[in-house]
Structure 1
Amino acid sequence: MLRRFPIESKGRWKKLYEVGSVTAICFTCFLIRCVVVVISAFESELSLEVMDHPVLDLFYYSLAEILPSALVLYILRKLPPKRVSAQYHPIR
């Protein structure tokens, strides 16, 4: 998709920024979750259920799962314009 745009165009830089932001958010959140899972696997005292407290569990899972999804949806919120077919005419 980006090959259609000239190298110096504003749209190309904007799209590259969006892709880079989504990549950075997903990488960071999945890396944090991976570290937590690895530590809990090797430490018998630690568990993914954070201190058996539901509020702390909610906080952990919202940071590890919900926040990255919400940020990705926010960054990619603008949909491309719909293509109108030459044969299609909307009902008036």
Structure 2
Amino acid sequence: HQLGLHRPIAELASVLPVHLTIVDAICGDLTFEEGGNPVPMGRILAGTDPVLLDSYAAALLGLAVAEIPYIELAAALGVGVADLSAAEVVEVN
């Protein structure tokens, strides 16, 4: 992401239709690709809005959407919604 991948991630998402997104949230990482700050979360996330799902995953890590540029860029491109109030969360154990 630090190599300028935020815009390409958002633009790619805007041209490839997404019907289901699955996020491995078993163990997150606060420093992204560096891998130095693991955060055990013990979850698998799934949703039909990739922007909303990434926004939710960011919130679980304690990050604001504004801290992750590709989320805001993808929302601006119409890929999905970044506002967590639009989320319908269903927990399955």
- Report TM bin, short chain: under 0.3
Structure holding more strand per residue: 2
Normalising to structure 2: TM-score of the pair? 0.26
Structure holding more helix per residue: 1
Structure showing greater radius of gyration is 1
Normalising to structure 1: TM-score of the pair? 0.26
